Amino acid sequence: MSSATEPIDEILKKSYDAGFVTDIEQEYAPPGLNEDIVKFISKKKQEPEWLLQWRLKAYRRWQQMSEPRWAKVSYPEIDYQDICYYAAPKTDKDAPKSLDEVDPELLETYEKLGIPLHEREVLAGVAVDAVFDSVSVATTFREKLAEVGVIFMSFSEAVQEHPELIKKYLGSVVPVSDNFFAALNSAVFSDGSFVYIPKGVRCPMELSTYFRINAAKTGQFERTLIVADEGSYVSYLEGCTAPMRDENQLHAAVVELVAHKDAEIKYSTVQNWYPGDENGKGGIFNFVTKRGLCEGEASKISWTQVETGSAITWKYPSCILKGDDSIGEFYSVALSNHRQQADTGTKMIHLGKNTKSTIISKGISAGHGQQTYRGGVKIMRGADNARNYTQCDSLLIGDKCGAHTVPYVDVRNSTSKLEHEATTSRIGEDQLFYCRQRGLSEEDAVSLIVNGFAKEVLKELPMEFAVEAQKLLGVSLEGAVG
């Protein structure tokens, strides 16, 4: 693997590389949330009336809801009136049309993050829709994608250019009242990405979005909607980083996927939001709702996630397997070091006949980290011959961390078959010694063993993401042993 040639020592030395703040002029909405703010956001984005009404409906529902407290995470109360719900870089004109028009300082930000747009354009052939706080600043490769009919643009643009698609699919998988955080997002989401793959089209490149929270005291509420029409295919990558700040920041995104007949969506995430420092100060509160609907026959949705960041992670990318013969997959590596807490997993809801789901979850706890796998598999009455296989393994490093496994299984069809396996173990002293005897330092040995533990999931990631994810696991475990 290519990371072998990287001097791992150097990587281990790094703390949180993405922890810089870009000094750029921003436009803020005043902190706090009320109907006026919702209207302000909608107006800023020149949205049609129906969307404003949709947001207001969500806002009113949200007011009646309370924050979910069932997850095994603890955090101080969030003051929703102390958060800015809109921040956008000030630009002289409208959104830039090419990279040349993008603020050079912004481009430098991406440079530091290791995603130079130009380089990606040329070398990797990845189209990047970069979301800087709330507004999409650059979308590359749009024209090339447009040739095959693929729509890939910021959510706000899509609202203007393809209102009929947005109206049809927005909230169709995650309704506004789905949960507290989804309702909040629905009321105040500022931007995000929209992807539409037309019938029979295999998207010619990996689509990728890097999200970044920059402004202080800013919540990020992006919204992603991906629709794969009949017989199409798309692979979508999402990377996340945030600058280091002492106070906590809220991230409440919603991702909706719709796969029609014979379509396939592969959604990969490398989440490296700022996790807070060793003592648990600062860090992102990540409350995300991700759900895919396998609407059509033989459709497939596959979630792959590598979660190394955030102070709090609350996230359950799920699949509703409605179409007969549809397939749902969830591959996850989640790592909690220092004071991080992650409560993550998936839900697989089998409605259609011959539906299949696979869940592979690998949790790693180190330091004072707390890690919970929470998963639900439901096989409903009509889901004849449904199959589920779940494997969730936990690896413990050190004696102050915790690993918890909470699967819920509900089966109502006698022709279905479900298997769930879970193990919890520690890194073996004999494994560490073996590696060290061959000349590897203890940190490298841990990183190696952890990457081996997570391999089944990492191999699901597109190549360049896999390398990044491996490095991240090493960096995130810094100081975990010894």
Interaction between residue 439 and another protein (CB under 8 A)? yes
Output 45 or 368, the one with its CB closest to another protein: 368
Region label for 147, one of left (φ > 0), alpha (ψ between -120 and 50) or beta (otherwise): alpha
Output 240 or 403, the one with its CB closest to another protein: 403
**Binder of another protein out of 96, 163, 407, 462 (CB under 8 A):** 407
Residues 167/158, Cβ–Cβ less than 8 Å: no
Query: Which residues on neighbouring strands pair with residue 348, listed in sequence order?
Result: 319, 377
User: Looking up tokens 């955030």, which residue turns up?
Assistant: 310
Output 124 or 440, the one with its CB closest to another protein: 440
**Binder of another protein out of 91, 177, 358, 424 (CB under 8 A):** 424
Classify 223 as helix, strand or coil: strand
Output 117 or 392, the one with its CB closest to another protein: 392
As given in the structure block, the two tokens for residue 142 are 């749009």
Interaction between residue 441 and another protein (CB under 8 A)? yes
**Gap between the Cα atoms of 310 and 276, Å rounded:** 7
Residues 148/201, Cβ–Cβ less than 8 Å: yes
CA angle 165, 169, 170 (to 5 degrees): 105
- What is the x/- site pattern for another protein, positions 4-23, by CB under 8 A? xx-xx---------------
CB of 316 vs another protein, minimal distance in Å: 16
* Contacts with 125 (C-beta within 8 Å, 6 or more apart), sequence order: 205, 206
Interaction between residue 454 and another protein (CB under 8 A)? yes
CB of 451 vs another protein, minimal distance in Å: 7
Interaction between residue 481 and another protein (CB under 8 A)? no
Residues 322-381 that bind another protein (CB under 8 A): 379, 381
CA 116 to chain centre: 21
Interaction between residue 418 and another protein (CB under 8 A)? yes
What letter would DSSP give residue 99?
Answer: G
Q: How far apart are the first and last CA of the chain?
A: 27
**C-alpha distances out from residue 478 to 314, 366, 399, 460, Å:** 23, 10, 16, 25
Output 297 or 444, the one with its CB closest to another protein: 444
β-strands 370-379, 402-411: how paired?
parallel
CB of 411 vs another protein, minimal distance in Å: 4
Interaction between residue 429 and another protein (CB under 8 A)? yes
CB of 181 vs another protein, minimal distance in Å: 20
Residues 274/18, Cβ–Cβ less than 8 Å: yes
**Gap between the Cα atoms of 441 and 432, Å rounded:** 9
Interaction between residue 428 and another protein (CB under 8 A)? yes
The site for another protein, by CB under 8 A, has a size of: 64
- What is the x/- site pattern for another protein, positions 36-75, by CB under 8 A? ----------------------------------x-----
Q: What is the H or E stretch that residue 119 is in?
A: helix 117-119
CB of 183 vs another protein, minimal distance in Å: 20
Interaction between residue 126 and another protein (CB under 8 A)? no
Instruction: Give residues in contact with another protein (CB under 8 A).
Output: 1-2, 4-5, 7-8, 70, 379, 381, 394, 396-426, 428-431, 433-442, 444, 448-449, 451-456
